[in-house]
Chains A and B, each alone.
Chain A
């Protein structure tokens, strides 16, 4: 864990229009995530957890405000640039694994490497390393339907880390798993954070899962309710001051 800022949200707001009604999810949200943080975001349904994760991951854009990644505003990137940015920096882990059903574990893990210029040998090595790390080297030829939920989520984790991204975004990664399997998955995420220095942002409903993170934020009605020493919910004034300095 370092104090080097990786992400900074500055006065971010997000609004949706549903029919004639405009719904505000966040107003003036500020947040700093440092490199090497393992942040869990909890909150009731509809609090905007997943929306926040999507914005951090560059799949959604704020209505106002700025999201800085390594001091670069990602909301200004075009769709194509965001795709490249995600491919280079971000790994995603979803609640329902979202594996390609027609590809075996090995090929699912290899998918992000299709976006990189690597030799087939380099790809194979990366895939094997990722699968070994999640303990599924012996299941590499299995199709998703031949794997348990926990194993599928491990494949999804391997897919997320195979291209060695800086960031992992996890949306309810244990939401579909039993406690024992969930614990295994969370231990793997913890390992990736502590031993490999990955910055992880995890959205969860589960307080037990949140305990694995180094920081737990509660999001309710567009406001963070808790914070700890490494991940900071900053005031607008602090944010502006930091930006100008």
Chain B
């Protein structure tokens, strides 16, 4: 028999209490693991943004279009390295529920600006030469089972063609991969020119302009110069870094981080009270036994260690179970097609696991410290008299 055995036997002596406490902790870490992974997935777009890319959008909001003439005007501004433009297409495949995120872009410049998208030379050549061609991200191609050469009827829930149809027949010219495995490739790129010529509504309008600067240190001056140039025009601009743009886009859904933090903090605080009270009661019921251990010669420090180890073991047991189930749910959710479109990087990261372990240790320490301290301070005579 060693200390670990004694800790284990004490922890498992009341099975119902162990179950309820572990379950409470399990729920806390299930929430933390799952919601934390969601938050990371939301944030990953922001984190992966390039330093030297700026986004120019309409000052009213980014759903309002800008004139295509802005491309050449921005190109002329000092410090600008390259300019491209994109339009939201609002695509879906076959069923409106099967969303296929699609952008109508200027192919050549887009691939220059987004040099993190890897497309082989032949595919690139084919796409540039075929106006009805499209390139598909590896992730999307895999999920729909598409390959190069497939003809795909891509529909839009926003635009329609001049002939009244809202479906464009397109051919896959290539499948692009990310240079960074975490970069999202769950989208399609089509030619703006073809889209602009065939769609019914106002032409020569673009959604936003991604630009690169000669150096990230020039970002602010370039952004100021762009916004100054179009100030007081019919379409004023707002220029920000790509990360700011992505963040602002996500905040359209609400402050995800705040919501998740709120839920997790409330959960943890409740669990802290529940488990802390339970641990204190557990130790209080064992006053006589602690006095016996002290009488036998167990030192106060050792008693402190035994009680604290109990709460740490409880926190780790419940927490690891919670984390396991969180991982299970995250994996399940990441396979869900709807969620896959919105959060392509939904995984339980190492960061979440390490943070969870740290919180388990903190929870165990906080809930066990006071009972362990009281046990350490326990006077043998008083304990026997009380017992």
Contact = CB atoms under 8 A, between A and B. Distances in A.
Contacts of B292: 92, 94, 98, 100
Interface string A173-192: 00000000000000000000
B289 A92 contact: no
A80 B299 CA distance: 6
Q: Which interface residue of B12, B288, B295, B381 has the most chain A CB atoms within 10 A?
A: B295
B147 interface: no
A37 B299 CA distance: 29
A87 to B, nearest CB: 3
B1 interface: yes
Contact of B13 (A86, A98, A102): A102
Contacts of B380: 54, 59-60
A110 B298 CA distance: 13
A98 B288 contact: yes
Interface string B355-383: 00000000000000000000000001100
A101 B300 CA distance: 21
Interface string B275-312: 00000000000001100111111111100000000000
A3 interface: no
A87 B296 contact: yes
A115 B298 contact: yes
A114 B294 contact: no
Contact of B295 (A86, A103, A107, A110): A86
Given A60-B381, A98-B292, A114-B2, A87 B9 contact: no
A236 to B, nearest CB: 27
A221 interface: no
Given A83-B294, A112-B296, A114-B1, A54 B9 contact: no
Contact of B1 (A60, A79, A86, A110): A110
A98 B289 contact: yes
Contacts of A86: 295-297
Given A101-B13, A102-B9, A112 B297 contact: yes
Contacts of A84: 297, 299
B161 interface: no
Interface string A189-230: 000000000000000000000000000000000000000000
A111 B293 contact: yes
A103 B9 contact: yes
A115 B10 contact: no
Interface in B1-56: 1-3, 5-6, 9-10, 12-13
Contacts of A87: 296-297
A54 B381 contact: yes
Nearest to B3: A114
Contacts of A100: 9, 289, 292
B295 A92 contact: yes
A169 to B, nearest CB: 9
A112 B5 CA distance: 14
Contacts of B289: 98, 100
A115 B9 contact: no
Contact of B381 (A59, A94, A114, A123): A59
Interface string B74-108: 00000000000000000000000000000000000
Nearest to B295: A92
A84 B300 CA distance: 11
Given A59-B381, A102-B9, A92 B1 contact: no
Contacts of B5: 107
Contact of A57 (B12, B293, B295, B298): B295
A115 B381 contact: no
Nearest to B381: A60
A191 B266 CA distance: 63
A111 B293 CA distance: 8
Interface string A50-83: 0000100101100000000000000000011001
B290 to A, nearest CB: 11
B1 A107 contact: yes
A231 B364 CA distance: 52
A200 B201 CA distance: 105
Contacts of A101: 13
Nearest to A114: B1
Contacts of B294: 59, 83
Contacts of A59: 294-295, 380-381
A54 B379 CA distance: 12
A7 to B, nearest CB: 18
A195 B296 CA distance: 24
Nearest to A104: B9
Interface string A87-98: 110101010001
A85 B297 CA distance: 7
Nearest to B9: A102
B298 A83 contact: yes
Nearest to A115: B297
B284 to A, nearest CB: 16
Contacts of A80: 299-301
A51 B6 CA distance: 30
A107 B300 CA distance: 21
Interface of A: 54, 57, 59-60, 79-80, 83-88, 90, 92, 94, 98, 100-103, 107, 110-112, 114-115, 123, 159
3 tightest Cβ-Cβ pairs between the two chains A and B? A87-B297, A102-B13, A86-B297
Interface of B: 1-3, 5-6, 9-10, 12-13, 288-289, 292-301, 380-381
11 contacts: A79-B299, A79-B300, A86-B297, A88-B297, A90-B297, A92-B296, A98-B289, A98-B292, A114-B1, A114-B3, A115-B297
Given A83-B298, A115-B298, A123-B1, 11 more contacts: A59-B381, A60-B381, A83-B297, A85-B297, A86-B295, A86-B296, A90-B297, A107-B5, A112-B296, A112-B297, A114-B3
